[in-house]
Amino acid sequence: MATQISTTNVVPRVIPWRTISSIILLIFFVLFLAVPLWNLVMEMVANPQLLMRQLIIGITNGAYIALIALGYTLVYGIIELINFAHGEVYMLGVFFSLTLIGLFGLSSSTPPELLFPLMLLILLVTMTFTALLNVSIERVAYRRLRNAPRLAPLISAIGVSFVLQNVGQLWGFLRFPIFNGVMGSNAVAPKSYPQLISNYNVLSFLGENVRIRLTIRDLVVLAVSFSLLVALYLFIQKTKLGKAMRATAQDRDASALMGIDVNRTISLAFLLGGALAGAAGMLVGMYNGTAVFNMGFTAGLRSFTAAVLGGIGNIVGAMFGGLLIGLISALSDQYLSARWTNAVVFGLLVIILVFRPTGLLGEEGGQKA
């Protein structure tokens, strides 16, 4: 009969950290947050029209956040790099479109037959600019580092982000007469966008008592964003290049063996992401009316959170994530305080990454250890 050998020193203790921290968080939540949250919900319900307006703002913001989020998700899905500079690409899109608007001398008094075609043109040119910018960033700063330890391209990305922020700061020096004064009088101050699309409340026909506001601006942003999102989705799903992108995201080496030009596919991801960021830039510029050099940071943070929320690498996920983050930000701005919104979004990011890093809709493109 066999007997067991007696042991020596170590008694292995297993402490269920995850369970403990979840319980602590739950207690914390109940004690400190449950009541204020309840009050918050009551407040929201009390004024439904204000809530509706916030929801509309949220969805509109969500649309442009989704556009930027797609840039993050496309790049991360294909080379597993967080393109820190992406927010700045968006910011430069805002500035670029503003400059073009100045160049063409557009303003609220421009006749519609001239205004809309020119704005469309500006949109396309801006998108081209940001697309090419993003591609160049990849070429210059990331390509050589593709096989380096992940620290290197990450640091590089941060560096590029800083450089571009500075470019945004200095953009205001373009105060040449042909730009018709859009850059304002002070190089480093925020610039204001001319009022190009009217703020007319489409729902005003519902009468005096209905104070829900849905403006033409909202509709334009929604329409353009939605079209772009659908276009991108179709591109990724239906075209050959889109398929190549999905394949490269899943397994780069296998794709190369199948004859896919990996470098070009990666550049394509940057190209598309950049283009969408540029579109978002112009839309936001028109919607919010300002351009300032550090708007890339906040937008980038929110969009990245959206991408992670939806599942990084997941296209549809980025869209839903964007919407969700847009809503949360709008609600936080209104019912909590705009000062805290960044912290709320960051907090949400931390929670997702710790408790559900694959996001709500799950990752695509494979996780490499």
Tokens matching residue 309:
């929320």
**Out of 26, 120, 121, 158, the residue judged to bind other proteins by CB under 8 A:** 158
**Out of 19, 45, 109, 147, the residue judged to bind other proteins by CB under 8 A:** 147
Could you give the string, one character per residue 250-269, with x where binding to other proteins holds by CB under 8 A and - elsewhere?
Answer: --------------------
**Out of 7, 19, 109, 209, the residue judged to bind other proteins by CB under 8 A:** 7
Size of the site for other proteins (CB under 8 A): 69
For other proteins, give the closer residue by CB, 125 or 163. Answer: 163
> How many Cβ atoms are within 10 Å of 292's Cβ, its own excluded?
17
Q: Give the 3-state secondary structure of 179-229.
A: HCCCCCCCCCCCEECCCCCCCCEHHHHHCCCCCCCCEHHHHHHHHHHHHHH
Separation of first and last alpha carbons in the chain: 46
For other proteins, give the closer residue by CB, 219 or 350. Answer: 350
Minimum distance, C-beta of residue 349 to other proteins, in the bound complex (Å) = 5
- Measured between alpha carbons, how far is 269 from 73 in angstroms, rounded to an integer? 9
156 lies in the site for other proteins, by CB under 8 A: yes
**Out of 52, 103, 115, 145, the residue judged to bind other proteins by CB under 8 A:** 145
154 lies in the site for other proteins, by CB under 8 A: yes
342 lies in the site for other proteins, by CB under 8 A: yes
36 lies in the site for other proteins, by CB under 8 A: yes
32 lies in the site for other proteins, by CB under 8 A: yes
For other proteins, give the closer residue by CB, 76 or 320. Answer: 76
Stretch 75-104 residues interacting with other proteins (CB under 8 A): 80-82
For other proteins, give the closer residue by CB, 14 or 42. Answer: 14
Q: Is the Cβ–Cβ distance between 341 and 329 less than 8 Å?
A: yes
Tokens matching residue 354:
């710790």
Residues 200, 277, 303, 363, CA torsion sign: positive
340 lies in the site for other proteins, by CB under 8 A: yes
Classified as helix, coil or strand, 10 is coil
Q: How far is CA 57 from CA 27, 154, 209, in A?
A: 33, 33, 20
- Measured between alpha carbons, how far is 304 from 65 in angstroms, rounded to an integer? 9
- Measured between alpha carbons, how far is 148 from 141 in angstroms, rounded to an integer? 12
Q: Choose among 266, 278, 238: nearest CA to 94.
A: 278
H/E run at residue 291: strand 290-291
For other proteins, give the closer residue by CB, 104 or 270. Answer: 270
How open is the CA angle 11-13-19, to the nearest 5 degrees?
170
- Measured between alpha carbons, how far is 143 from 122 in angstroms, rounded to an integer? 30
**Out of 61, 182, 349, 359, the residue judged to bind other proteins by CB under 8 A:** 349
**Out of 166, 199, 237, 239, the residue judged to bind other proteins by CB under 8 A:** 166
**Out of 42, 46, 151, 257, the residue judged to bind other proteins by CB under 8 A:** 151
For other proteins, give the closer residue by CB, 324 or 349. Answer: 349
Minimum distance, C-beta of residue 311 to other proteins, in the bound complex (Å) = 13
- Measured between alpha carbons, how far is 94 from 76 in angstroms, rounded to an integer? 23
Tokens matching residue 5:
């050998």
179 lies in the site for other proteins, by CB under 8 A: no
Max CA separation in the chain (angstroms): 99
**Out of 173, 176, 200, 226, the residue judged to bind other proteins by CB under 8 A:** 173
- Measured between alpha carbons, how far is 342 from 348 in angstroms, rounded to an integer? 10
**Out of 48, 181, 357, 362, the residue judged to bind other proteins by CB under 8 A:** 357
- Measured between alpha carbons, how far is 2 from 130 in angstroms, rounded to an integer? 74
Q: Interface residues with other proteins (CB under 8 A)?
A: 1-8, 10, 12-14, 17, 21, 30-32, 34-36, 80-82, 140-141, 144-145, 147-156, 158-167, 169-170, 173, 187-188, 297, 301, 304, 337, 339-340, 342-343, 346-347, 349-350, 353-354, 357, 368-369
